[in-house]
Chains A and B, each alone.
Chain A
Amino acid sequence: MKRYLSLLLATVFVCSLLVSSAVAAKWTADMKEGKLELKSAGPLAFGPDGILFIADTKSASIVALATGDTKATGNASLKVEGINQKVAALLGTSADQILIEDLAINPISHHAYLAVSRGRGPDAVPVLVRVKTDGKLEVLALDKVKYSVATLPDAPADAMTGPANRQSNPRRESITDLAFVDGRVLIAGLANEEFASALRAVPFPFQNVENGTSVEMYHGAHGRFETRSPVRTFAAFKIGKEDHLLAAYTCTPLVQFPISQLKPGAKIMGKTIAELGNRNRPLDMIVYERDGKRYLLMANSSRGVMKITTENIANAESITAPVPDKKGLTYETIEGWTNVDQLERFDAKNAVVIRRTEGGAMNLETVPLP
């Protein structure tokens, strides 16, 4: 009997392995293997199975990179003091030549990933750095990796400059945030010539992105002036049974959109559920749960880190008229969380932040969620 039981258990184990590898293969089956050449590395976001999405603004594309980092480490914290100085040392340069563009946490291993620019001029080299939970830094070797690329739908065609001069076309589209939600990569962007901010949803694994699968939408609930502002940061959030996108804008309305309505060509009316105050721009936003309640945590340029209650979000009033300062969902400013440049969720109980210190050093560390 015991023998049968162990045989059965072994079979179940092998089957579960096969199923999990089949699930993993679903995401990477269409990827190619080879040298990944990034021209730039901007916002980052993790998808399933250790897949890292990288916005390469200079190539107007999103790269999905299978990092192979798919094992849990069990470590519950991260701390690296002077992360900018340490990255500079690895890359053989000085800290003032390093820009940390974005931070993402692999939800499986809890290793932190940084998009770094080595250099600050046109010849800057993009580098991806893994900060392991033991504090060690590694630069990702991209010579032989599995990846796929989604090229963003073309910029409006050049007229006089012509195809031969496309390289010199000064039009670029900047990407302000990136997230993987419900099988799609959501991309917020803004162009540097014609003024039109866009939010795109690209299904992953990437298919035929060029064929009009892009979505452009504007939110319009809040008077008129926000309608063309770019989304600065966003997070997925379930309201009732429906997945929503909460998007934060400069100066600082928080707007919700149902994700199911993000369809090619869709025109979606956003609902403004909070005005969080003037003279401010949001930097990063995460969602977490504590004592059965869900909160948003938002890092800002000039109003510290806000802990926003979401208890009444389902019944939140739509703000449709100008307000002098604040309205809608309320928040408290978290004391001690100062000079936060980057904010990411680490696990259910902790966030990871990168903070600037007075001497110019930047510290990366886990902090218990408030």
Chain B
Amino acid sequence: MPDDVKEQRIKEAGNSRFLIWLITLCFFVSLFPQLVHSQTEKNTSLAIRWIPNPEDDRKVLVEVSGFSGVTLRHLERKMLSPAQWQQILAVYAGETNLAMLGTYRIVKDALQFLPQFPLEPGIQYRAVLRTLPGQAQDKPAPTTSSFQLPTRNTTPTTFVRQIYPSSDTVPENLLKFYLHFSAPMRRGNIYEFIHLRDSDGKNIELPFLEIDEELWDTNMTRLTLFIDPGRIKRGVLPLEEIGPSLEAGKSYSLVISREWKDSVGNPLKTEFQKSFRVVEADRTPPDPAHWQFTLPSGGTLAPLRINFTEPMDHALSQRVFTVFTEARQRIEGTVTLESQERVWVFTPTQAWRSGKYDLVIQTTLEDLAGNNIGKPFDVDIFEGIDRYLRTPTVRLPFDIR
């Protein structure tokens, strides 16, 4: 099944799960007044209800009804502080005795508490209604009402969609992996779920650059995993006692543990393993002069193909190329990568017109070892700074006939 069809189905499955969850929630909430009523029958005049917030039905608010109009007007006039409100009505998450943040308001004949943040599935919430100071006629004994959103589906559905580079051979000085997941993941202590193992199944110690902030994309479906630069084998200097992460001639597996949780809190469907063989280090910068172009014909939507003759960085290859007409008009289109990131494929949204074009490439493009166009990864450190600041480009002209 093609990836985009799979993706659509996963999305649809996700949508329908959400719908079922929402319907269950509405049903549960609609039932709740009766449930609460049974818990609060000691104080027949007062009732606590958990109801959808009319201004945002994805949120739930707590409503206490049954106060006299005099009491409510009195409370309204008093302009109570949050701490004073909590003396009257406090809402707690779980077993804690520290009240949740939220705002209080009087509406018609009821007091309402609006939690500052949405309630979470799986947590038991408690609303405690205490005695009103100086209001003898309404003095209820402390009354408690509990509420829990339906727990989410706990069946694991998220999986590792792909690991880049997708090639099964990588250079000894490989710089990074990208892990792509089928759904958003959960942050925090992620490195304990990622293992690099040698051919004997033994874990390589601290092979990656562990960044507390974790290098996620915005959707949290892609993680960048840098090999620790201190663990990349160099040609000149001997490495310290800890040794390099990867050595030429050896085979390794990158193992993603099933225990890693997605953003919903479910573990992955299965463990994922990417096995690969390590070959000699690559210290040659990519050279566009050696790339092979396959040009489409004018009047067609056929793709422009460029064979790099070596795999390029998956993320950068999709971001650093731009096609322009001779008049500097940008050609819109989509980019895909083929042959294990060796071939760049650009399909225009409108048919090519015959004429001259330029392919403009930012020189920050990296191959698998982090070599940029015109600059190997580990040579003079200052050579590349201006380049990075100014992000210069290389221009490759081509003709469409």
A positions within 8 Å CB-CB of B: 42, 57-58, 85-86, 88-94, 97, 99, 101, 117-118, 120-125, 137, 139, 156-162, 167-172, 174-176, 190, 192-196, 212, 214, 216-218, 220, 223-230, 250-251, 265, 267, 278-279, 281, 283, 301, 322-325
Contacts and interface: CB of A to CB of B under 8 A. Distances in A.
Interface in B181-230: 184-188, 205-206, 209-220, 222, 224, 226, 228-230
B218 A192 contact: no
B241 A172 contact: no
Contacts of B175: 195
Interface stretch (B38-46, B132-140, B283-291, B314-322): B314-322
B242 A278 contact: yes
Contact of B216 (A42, A169, A172, A225): A172
Contacts of A171: 217, 315, 319
A92 B125 contact: yes
Contact of A160 (B209, B262, B319, B366): B319
B97 to A, nearest CB: 8
17 contacts: A91-B101, A92-B116, A94-B122, A117-B187, A121-B186, A122-B219, A156-B364, A162-B330, A171-B217, A190-B215, A192-B217, A218-B385, A225-B229, A226-B230, A230-B211, A267-B385, A322-B237
A151 to B, nearest CB: 16
Contact of A192 (B94, B224, B237, B264): B224
B229 A90 contact: no
Given A172-B215, A278-B240, A229 B229 contact: yes
B232 A225 contact: yes
B372 to A, nearest CB: 8
A159 B217 contact: no
A120 B316 contact: no
B171 interface: no
A322 B117 contact: no
A110 B385 CA distance: 40
Nearest to A323: B240
A90 B98 contact: yes
Nearest to B122: A94
A192 B216 contact: yes
A223 B237 contact: yes
Most A C-beta atoms less than 10 A away, residue of B185, B209, B234, B378: B209
B100 interface: yes
A224 B117 contact: no
Contacts of B64: none
A42, A117, A120, A281, most chain B CB atoms within 10 A: A120
Given A122-B218, A171-B319, A195-B370, A92 B232 contact: no
Contacts of A88: 93, 96
A57 B175 CA distance: 23
Nearest to A119: B263
A121 B120 CA distance: 13
Interface in B20-51: none
Contacts of B229: 195, 225-229
Q: Top 6 nearest A-B pairs by Cβ distance?
A: A121-B263, A170-B217, A89-B96, A192-B215, A89-B98, A159-B322
Contact of B100 (A92, A158, A283): A92
Given A159-B321, A217-B385, A172 B217 contact: yes
Nearest to A175: B213
B11 to A, nearest CB: 15
Contacts of B320: 156, 159
Contacts of A195: 175-176, 226, 229, 366, 370, 377
A114 B86 CA distance: 24
Contact of B391 (A156, A169, A267): A156
